Amino acid sequence: MNKQIKIPFWKHIEELRTRIIRCIIVIIISMIFFMFNKHIVFDLIIFGPSKMNFISYRLLKYITKNIIKYNSNQFFEKDLYIQNRKIFGQFNTYIWTSFIGGIILSFPYISYEFWGFLSPALSKKEKKYSKKIFLMILILFSTGIFFGYFILCPFLIHFSYFFKISNIPKNIFDLSDYISLITNSVLLMGIIFLFPLFIFLLTKMNLITYEFLNKYKKHAFLIKLIIASAITPGDIISTIIVIVPMIILYQISLFISKKNPY
């Protein structure tokens, strides 16, 4: 049996504080990187889904025209018009978006620090899987980010632009609303895609079991439906787009909790 050296509680707190400070420093550096590249960040990335030639729109248009054989005119005829109505709206957006971008860019390092804090409590057998777990974090989070940006955001913007209660009011997006939609959708999907990892950790801590997850599968579906409705406008298509990967992730979590690879 491996003998573990007992470390005083205040030492754990000091180490946690040091790691948090390092994470904050990395986030600030990443934030500064985004601030110095605002033309790339905003013109090409943030405002990408607002342009008619965005890759998701071109791909969807190709599919509807050449595969489904349906000519749809429900695509942007020109780039969306986005307005700013607040005095410091653009500056606040500049800072806030750079901060969110800094968190996303720093996520691999934050995960590394978090795992480094937990690793001393793991056995040698468990530590052997640390690289695989770290890789799984990166893959799941990145997949969620790409899903939110290339699939969810275009559908949300498309729905919000074309849905009208009347032809009298014009759909002109406000800058703060548009930025919130992009950042929230992307960041939330990145976190949601980490669900199998959370289940894995809870299973290893004996806080949750396969039997529990399987028994309350229907209740979990209701919770997923509520979450999907909360982060979308509530229309059927957008809700389905979000809930389908959540169902797949839940099934993966069931598989993980049943196999329990350790």
DSSP-assigned states of every residue in 4-66: -----HHHHHHHHHHHHHHHHHHHHHHHHHHHHTHIIIIIIIITGGGSTT-HHHHHHHHIIII
In terms of Cβ atoms closer than 10 Å to its own Cβ (0-12, 13-18, 19+), residue 118 is exposed
Is 0.85 topped by the overall pTM?
no
Mean local confidence (pLDDT), 86-108: 93
**65-79 pLDDT tens trace:** 777 666 656 666 778
**What pLDDT sits at residue 1?**
43
Asked if residue 230 and residue 142 are part of one domain, the reply reads no
End residue of a domain, out of 167, 193, 219? 193
**What pLDDT sits at residue 261?**
47
Domain that holds residue 250: 206-262
How far apart are the C-alpha atoms of 52 and 117, rounded to whole Å?
46
Q: Which residues pair with 203 in a beta bridge?
A: none
Place of tokens 């406008």: 233
End residue of a domain, out of 149, 164, 193? 193
Higher pLDDT, 260 or 48: 48
Asked if residue 122 and residue 179 are part of one domain, the reply reads yes
Burial readout 50-74 (b: 16 or more C-beta within 10 A, e: otherwise)? beeebebbeebeeeeeeeeeeeeee
**193-230 pLDDT tens trace:** 988 888 877 777 777 888 888 888 888 888 888 888 88
Mean local confidence (pLDDT), 177-190: 90
How far apart are the C-alpha atoms of 241 and 262, rounded to whole Å?
33
Asked if residue 55 and residue 21 are part of one domain, the reply reads yes
Phi and psi dihedrals of 174, rounded to 5?
Answer: -85, 145
**231-262 pLDDT tens trace:** 776 667 778 888 888 888 888 888 877 765 44
Asked if residue 43 and residue 158 are part of one domain, the reply reads yes
The domain tally of the chain equals 2
Asked if residue 229 and residue 140 are part of one domain, the reply reads no
Question: Could you tell me if residue 160 is inside a domain?
Answer: yes
Place of tokens 């099934």: 251
Burial readout 178-188 (b: 16 or more C-beta within 10 A, e: otherwise)? bbebbbebbbb
How far apart are the C-alpha atoms of 36 and 30, rounded to whole Å?
10
**What pLDDT sits at residue 6?**
58
Asked if residue 170 and residue 146 are part of one domain, the reply reads yes
Mean local confidence (pLDDT), 18-23: 92
Spatial CA neighbour of 117 closest among 29, 23, 26: 23
Asked if residue 212 and residue 161 are part of one domain, the reply reads no
Question: Could you tell me if residue 1 is inside a domain?
Answer: no
Q: Coil, helix or strand for 87?
A: coil
Asked if residue 33 and residue 138 are part of one domain, the reply reads yes
**What pLDDT sits at residue 219?**
85
Question: Could you tell me if residue 53 is inside a domain?
Answer: yes
Asked if residue 149 and residue 89 are part of one domain, the reply reads yes
Asked if residue 88 and residue 187 are part of one domain, the reply reads yes
